[in-house]
């Protein structure tokens, strides 16, 4: 008899509703609330009103669970169908920003998005990037290199910007951390660090999303300049 999904009257998940999808969804909620260190199988079992053995039937260990949770966050970022008429440049930018925003909402996930991709949604992300790159006039032999470079930028730079906040916010807060770092930069010798010492205010006051999109636009501008503007036949 197939399992059904649903919650009991007390709000807990029924035992017969348990599945990997349900477990991963509950893990995302706990990770958002408690962070990666705070997530335990015992807490997850309590949240789902089930036993530890039932969890281990579906997920081997915490590492696998966190990876699956991060992959779910990634999938939620680009759940909408790719429109056939969407231009390559605008589509790639919208996709990249959607991924960054999703990881920004779930900082713990940023460092767990695999590159090269192995899980389902990470694979879908690379495939969607490649589909858009194929709409440019780039020669087919360049599609792989360009698509993977864009994929690595999206996931790698997002991780570099977002992931530290999972630790920083819990300790001192982003603003305090940036203020202290800017103060340290300001104490450097301008003769040795001319750029850093004159950009301390930019470090302290910068917007993470703007930082991400600045690099993204440079990357996409380069793609537009390289690609033949005529659509592939």
3-state helix, strand, coil in the chain (%, to 5): 70, 0, 30
Give the residue from 197, 202, 169 showing the smallest Cα distance to 184.
197
Cα–Cα distance, 157 to 172 (Å, whole number)? 22
**Cβ distance 77 to 102 under 8 Å?**
yes
Backbone angles phi, psi at 142, to 5 degrees: -100, -10
pLDDT in tens, 5-50: 444 445 444 545 799 999 999 999 999 999 999 999 999 999 999 9
* Best CA proximity match to 216, nearest among 87, 37, 95, 107: 95
Query: What domains does the chain contain, in order, with CATH numbers?
Result: 15-59 (1.10.10.60), 83-226 (1.10.357.10)
Q: Look up the pTM and report it.
A: 0.85
pLDDT of 125: 95
Mean pLDDT of the chain: 88
- How many CA atoms lie less than 13 Å away from 230 in the CB half-sphere? 3
Q: Under a CB-based contact definition with an 8 Å cutoff, are residues 154 and 122 in contact?
A: no
For 115-155, what is each residue's pLDDT tens digit? 788 999 999 999 999 999 999 989 999 999 999 999 999 99
Span 196-232, pLDDT tens digits:
999 999 999 999 999 999 999 999 999 988 886 555 4
**Sign of the alpha-carbon torsion through 68, 74, 79, 84:** negative
């Amino acid at each position: 008899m197939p399992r059904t999904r649903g919650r009991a009257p007390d709000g807990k998940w029924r035992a017969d509703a348990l599945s990997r999808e349900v477990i991963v969804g509950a893990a995302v909620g706990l990770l958002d609330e408690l962070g990666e260190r705070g997530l335990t199988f015992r807490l997850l079992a309590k949240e789902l009103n089930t036993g530890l053995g039932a969890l281990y039937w579906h997920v081997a260990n915490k590492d696998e669970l966190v990876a699956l949770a991060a992959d779910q966050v990634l999938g939620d970022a680009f759940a909408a169908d790719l429109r056939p008429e969407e231009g390559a440049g605008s589509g790639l930018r919208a996709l990249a920003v959607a991924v960054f925003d999703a990881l920004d909402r779930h900082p713990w996930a940023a460092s767990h998005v695999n590159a090269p991709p192995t899980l389902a949604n990470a694979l879908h992300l690379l495939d969607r990037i490649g589909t858009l790159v194929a709409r440019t006039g780039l020669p087919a032999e360049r599609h792989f290199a360009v698509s993977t470079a864009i994929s690595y930028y999206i996931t790698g730079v997002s991780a570099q910007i977002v992931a530290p906040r999972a630790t920083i916010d819990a300790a001192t807060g982003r603003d305090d951390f940036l203020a202290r770092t800017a103060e340290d930069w300001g104490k450097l010798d301008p003769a040795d660090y001319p750029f850093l010492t004159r950009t301390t205010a930019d470090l302290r006051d910068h917007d993470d999303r703007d930082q991400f999109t600045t690099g993204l636009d440079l990357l996409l501008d380069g793609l537009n300049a390289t690609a033949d503007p005529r659509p592939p036949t």
